[in-house]
Amino acid sequence: MSTVDTSSWTRAFSQRALNQGAAELATILAGSPPGVLSVSGGFPSPATFPTEVLDEIVAGLLRDDPGVALQYAPSEGIPSVREYLIERQEQLQGRRPEKDELIVTSGGMECITLAGLALLDPGDAVVVEAPTYLGALMAFAGFEAPVTGIPMDEDGLQVDVLEARLADGLRPKLIYLIPEFQNPTGRTLTLERRQALIELCRRHGVLILEDVAYREMSFDGGALPSLWSLGPDVVVQAGTFSKIFCPGVRLGWAVGPADVIAQMAAAKQTGDQCASALAQRIVEQYGRAGHFERQVPQSRALYERGWRAVEGALHEHMPPGVAWSEPSGGFFTWLTLPDGLDASELRPAALEAGVNYVPGRPFYPGDEGAAELRVSFSYLSEDELGEAVKRLAGVIA
Ligand SMILES: Cc1ncc(COP(=O)(O)O)c(C=O)c1O
């Protein structure tokens, strides 16, 4: 009797899994060798984690509310937590969602997956900013969605280019974008373009998936109107507490048209069923006690200091021909190298010199981005950031 080779199961992997190509994101999340300064991940600084407050909140929940905090929760979220998030949405974005317009999720990445599960059949087109968040590109690839990238400039997505593509017959199910301090470019979509985009999507009946992961991390505390507040009829907003609180708590929200939100909640039932009840109650208690209002301004100031350290070192050390974006918030700046240089090919030399970054190409749905790379300023100290940029400049020079 012949036996089947059981030494490797890759032959059994689904087409979906093969399409996804998770290698780049896994590399970022895996960290860097000792001695290497990493400006690669979008990790918040551990200095922003409110451990003492959390110690008290968690102890209190386990003592006073274990029947809720340690139990299954409704897929849409615990009612008091949804109520808190509805109030927060009104306070920060000037529009109060109806109860059936908001659900609690296990973070921002899950919102993207739930939107895909709710909306995308294989072959359904998706539009993204080029470049965009790698995790979203991987998710859309997993849904077998052909992805079209629309170019950006300093003012964000070029809405007129999108308009021309739609006029030419492009029919996306979904337009995914990150309007504030975008990952990976650090750029922000202007108000004029926000209004034009909403109008365009209304005219063509296209749904926008707005990812607000970095929205509250502006250096000056200000914020433009969210796309969802401008067009609640055509926008699903994916929100997360990962960047303003702690990614380990894994909590976020989705808000949008009630029928889409209900379908996303239904999709959640075959995933994790519900976001962690403990995490939900932690965020609710933390928020209701006013801790976001205390912590977020401190975090913003920390990240602004990180950016200023990077900015100073870029000006001091980068050779001529290197350009960078000038973020007014968030975690990232985007570097463009002189023609002919390839950021992927430079990476081994950079690691040798003791600095790690993410090359630009994986952030594009197409084959662009060879001469671009992302630098994050959220995790290292100011001195380390300065040194990392100096090392990077040496490799490029
Ligand atoms: C733009 C963007 N969206 C979503 C996420 C994922 O966030 P979460 O931890 O909430 O899943 C990230 C994380 O880096 C991100 O940069």
pLDDT of residue 273: 96
pLDDT of residue 23: 67
Report the 10 Å Cβ neighbour count for 340.
8
Best residue among 109, 157, 217, 280 to mutate for probing ligand 1, ranked by most atoms within 8 Å of CB: 109
Give the length of the chain: 397
pTM: 0.96
φ, ψ at 259 (rounded to 5°): -70, -40
Say whether pLDDT at 2 is over 80.
Answer: no
β-pair type (126-130, 147-153): parallel
Say whether pLDDT at 20 is over 80.
Answer: no
Mean pLDDT of the region 230-242: 98
Establish whether residue 183 lines the binding site of ligand 1, counting it when its CB lies within 6 angstroms of any ligand atom. Answer: yes
pLDDT of residue 16: 83
Establish whether residue 109 lines the binding site of ligand 1, counting it when its CB lies within 6 angstroms of any ligand atom. Answer: yes
pLDDT of residue 25: 62
Establish whether residue 178 lines the binding site of ligand 1, counting it when its CB lies within 6 angstroms of any ligand atom. Answer: yes
Tokens 């490799």 identify what position? 395
Assign 27 a pLDDT band (cuts: 50, 70, 90). low
Tell me: the pLDDT tens digits for 174-201?
999 999 999 999 999 999 999 999 999 9
Ligand 1 centroid, distance to 274 Cα (angstroms): 19
